[in-house]
Amino acid sequence: MPKTASADGNRPWVLVAIFGAFLTVLFGIYLNFPEMSDEDKLYMKYPRSLDDAKNLGRVLSKYKEDNVAVVLIGVIVVYITLQSFAIPGSIFLTILSGYLFPFPIAILLVCSCSAFGAVVCYMLSHLFGRSIVMRRFPERVAKWQEDVSKHRDDFLNYMIFLRVTPIVPNWLINIASPVLDVPLSPFFWGTFLGVAPPSFLYIQAGSTLEQMTHTNVAWSWNSILLISFFAVLSLVPIYYKKKFKTE
């Protein structure tokens, strides 16, 4: 018992150490960035609004031609950090990716960073949150795990559906999945494929970042129909599986 208590007591420090490692990498990228003017340095910050994203986009675009690797790695590390620790703001980096890079690179970057960042968040939840939740709500968690396990063969399709639609926040999916015993493989690939349709919209909008007045500009009736189509498409295999079983 004392050993368990000691391990639980050390967990916050381990989490701080992991977060510190991410910050160290970010600081290293910042140190390797080319010399900037004092004005540009003011805009080199985490974007919390569309105006911040525009200003950061202008600065990064200015230095990108001669330092494309540093800019690309910087965006990747920041994106994964936000996803890993469930920090809001990745939407602005998705828009920024559409502004800075050609569409194929931007969509691959966003899908990959979302998936890898989600996996880090999944692992952190598994290491630091799962045992706490199971200790406090053992019966309820056991019931949830039993219900979820009935759909084990369709985890990939359900994960794609959840990522495509805004029904459940992505950070909650990342944290809850290890508690509910969702395997890592369908979690990763479901995230990679599922974030593609909504990311497509924001990347397309990012190509006109200078003219954007609100992030909702990416959404229209056509966009909603597109998202709805992919959401339904992700569930079609489940429908046919159940239909064949009944027959």
**Can you give the pLDDT at residue 156?**
94
Check: CB of residue 111 under 8 Å from CB of residue 170.
no
- Give the separation between CA 67 and CA 87, rounded to whole angstroms: 27
Tokens for 20, please give them.
Answer: 């510190």
CB 129: neighbour CB atoms within 10 A? 15
Check: CB of residue 80 under 8 Å from CB of residue 117.
yes
**Can you give the pLDDT at residue 177?**
93
The H-or-E segment that residue 52 falls in is helix 50-64
> pTM score > 0.95 for this model?
no
**Can you give the pLDDT at residue 185?**
95
**Can you give the pLDDT at residue 215?**
66
Residue-wise pLDDT tens for the chain (247 aa)?
344 444 454 567 777 888 888 889 888 888 888 888 888 888 888 888 888 888 888 888 888 888 888 889 989 999 999 999 988 888 889 999 999 999 999 999 999 999 999 999 999 999 888 878 888 888 888 888 888 888 888 999 999 999 999 888 899 999 999 999 999 999 999 999 999 999 999 998 888 887 776 666 667 778 888 899 999 999 998 887 777 776 6
To 10 degrees, the CA torsion angle through 69, 99, 76, 80? 170
Check: CB of residue 232 under 8 Å from CB of residue 160.
no
CB 182: neighbour CB atoms within 10 A? 22
Sequence ranges of the domains in the chain: 2-246
